[in-house]
């Protein structure tokens, strides 16, 4: 990676709430440049809500979200919009327009936010599809391809504007284990080749251990974070029973510690 490691996103004393109802409080963590950062925890703990705060869709009740030292919510609207253009987002469903081909879906942000010609846009579209293993699928519609392929097409669109940070909301949701593993491998390849910082909301243990090198664990009962750091270190060293139960559910410790080749970042 040509970009120097260091803090990319810094969250300080963040409280998330809907009115008087607090979802999570006192969240403080750092996402370093080049991390694959996992937001994890049980159902209803506020993982997707935290993602909405990070991508600028929901303002904190308290605290700050800083990008490279700049407080996002204190910045002028034009600066916030510029920051958000550096984000690429993959939603759970892939969120592709069903009436558009894959090429047309990926071309949308390029046509909206750049002055590129149509031929230049199509060249980038073909390149992005090739990056995710979908070369030659430009004219296919979302309904004509598998769920795993739709996720990869959604990833190609998220990368259309060469974002600094990619945000994934449950990328493996609805996928079979083989497709999920392929998506994990693709995420690792993209991080290594593009140097992007990647933030992933997931509760899937295989993905957490296959791709994550940093994380935060949200607890729905105490409504705050109760652990952070490399998931492998948390498994080996964290003494909090909730964290250990989460990281070992449905498998033995020896199985959970297994990781594919190339995941030591």
Provide block-wise average pLDDT over 10 residues at a time, the chain (265 residues): 70 95 96 95 92 94 94 93 90 82 94 92 94 92 90 90 91 85 89 90 92 96 96 94 90 44 41
Determine the pLDDT at residue 252. 45
Determine the pLDDT at residue 94. 64
Determine the pLDDT at residue 6. 73
Determine the pLDDT at residue 4. 57
Q: Which two tokens stand for residue 205?
A: 């243990």
Q: Which two tokens stand for residue 61?
A: 């009740």
* Cα gap 217→36, rounded to integer Å: 14
Determine the pLDDT at residue 263. 43
What CATH fold (topology level) applies to the domain 7-252? Rossmann fold (3.40.50)
* Cα gap 92→167, rounded to integer Å: 11
How many alpha carbons lie under 13 Å from residue 193 in its C-beta half-sphere? 11
Q: What is 167-184 written as a DSSP string?
A: EEESTTTT--HHHHHHHH
Q: Rounded to the nearest 5°, which phi and psi values hold at 181?
A: -65, -40
> Which pTM value belongs to this model?
0.86
Non-local (6+) Cβ contacts of 231 within 8 A are 38, 40, 208, 209, 212, 215, 247
To which H or E segment does residue 8 belong? Answer: strand 7-18
């Amino acid at each position: 990676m040509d970009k120097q490691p260091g803090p990319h996103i810094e969250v300080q004393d963040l409280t998330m709430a809907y009115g008087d109802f607090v979802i999570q409080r006192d969240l403080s963590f750092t996402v370093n440049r080049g991390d694959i950062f996992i937001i994890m925890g049980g159902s209803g703990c506020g993982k997707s809500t935290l993602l909405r705060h990070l991508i600028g869709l929901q303002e904190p009740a308290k605290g700050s979200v800083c990008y490279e030292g700049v407080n996002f919510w204190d910045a002028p609207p034009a600066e916030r919009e510029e920051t958000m253009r550096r984000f690429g987002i993959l939603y759970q469903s892939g969120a592709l327009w069903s009436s558009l081909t894959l090429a047309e879906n990926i071309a949308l942000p390029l046509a909206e936010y750049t002055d590129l010609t149509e031929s230049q846009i199509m060249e980038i579209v073909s390149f992005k599809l090739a990056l995710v293993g979908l070369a030659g699928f430009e004219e296919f519609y979302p309904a004509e391809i598998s769920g795993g392929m739709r996720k990869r097409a959604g990833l190609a669109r998220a990368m259309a504007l060469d974002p600094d940070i990619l945000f994934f909301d449950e990328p493996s949701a609805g996928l079979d284990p083989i497709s999920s593993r392929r998506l994990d491998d693709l995420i690792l390849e993209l991080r290594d080749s593009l140097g992007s910082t990647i933030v992933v909301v997931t509760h899937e243990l295989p993905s957490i251990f296959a791709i994550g090198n940093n994380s935060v664990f949200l607890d729905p009962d105490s409504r705050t974070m109760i652990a952070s750091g490399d998931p492998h270190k948390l498994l080996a060293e964290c003494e909090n029973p909730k964290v250990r139960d989460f990281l070992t559910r449905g498998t033995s410790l020896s199985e959970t510690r297994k990781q594919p080749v190339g995941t030591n970042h």
